[in-house]
């Protein structure tokens, strides 16, 4: 089963500025990743080719990196995810920049069920928050609160309960955050 999943935002800022956000991925003050509401992205040697890491139960390694423009990660977990995900930054003809995230993979085994039933929904919610943070970095007035679907909230609560029983090791942020935690994440993205 093939998967192509694309999320993007048009951002009213030069590509160099948006690229600086990309270069901060997995850093101490990551400007893109919604740290208050999702598992932290991290790598054993930082954001550079050959580093291994991931976020929550998703494992991957950095296979390609052009600072300020493009980073590609090859999946190593969960089992059955055969492919990559990447962020790209590119200028638009009309001005501004497009920040895009793409997953291209083939699913095998249990991933044929886990992707469409769980991972896809969680991934989509995470990426929308990530891209919202990119927009907020340049347009703080566009601040708004994205709401998760009831299904995403259910998946997050089930995942946190599984982790609490010790069946899977995930960061505490994988649990259902309070509205205050989500507000704090939005505030930090807009620099408030």
Q: List Cβ neighbours of 24 (8 Å cut-off, separation of 6 or more).
A: 30, 31, 32
pLDDT (tens digit, 0 to 9) for every residue of the chain, 192 residues total?
999 999 999 999 999 999 999 999 999 999 999 998 899 999 999 999 999 999 999 999 999 999 999 999 999 999 999 999 999 999 998 899 999 999 999 999 999 999 999 999 999 999 999 999 999 999 988 877 789 999 999 999 998 766 555 444 444 444 455 555 555 555 555 554
Q: Which fold has domain 2-189?
A: Alpha-D-Glucose-1,6-Bisphosphate; Chain A, domain 4 (3.30.530)
CA dist., res. 130 & res. 17, Å (int): 16
Length, in residues, of the chain: 192
């Amino acid at each position: 089963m093939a998967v192509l999943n694309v999320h993007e935002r048009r951002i009213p800022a030069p590509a160099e500025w948006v690229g600086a956000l990309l270069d901060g991925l997995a850093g101490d003050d990551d400007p893109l990743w919604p740290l208050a509401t999702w598992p932290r992205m991290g790598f054993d040697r930082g954001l550079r080719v050959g580093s291994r890491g991931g976020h929550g139960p998703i494992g991957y390694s950095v296979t390609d990196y052009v600072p300020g423009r493009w980073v590609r990660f090859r999946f190593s977990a969960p089992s059955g995810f055969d492919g990559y995900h990447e962020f790209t930054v590119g200028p638009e003809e009309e001005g501004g920049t497009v920040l895009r995230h793409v997953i291209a993979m083939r699913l095998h085994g249990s991933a044929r069920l886990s992707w469409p039933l769980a991972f896809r929904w969680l991934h989509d919610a995470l990426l929308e928050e990530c891209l919202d943070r990119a927009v907020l970095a340049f347009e703080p007035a566009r601040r708004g609160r994205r709401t998760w679907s009831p299904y995403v909230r259910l998946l997050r609560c089930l995942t946190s309960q599984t982790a609490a029983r010790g069946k899977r090791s995930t960061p505490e942020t994988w649990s259902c955050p309070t509205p205050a935690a989500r507000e704090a994440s939005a505030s930090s993205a807009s620099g408030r």
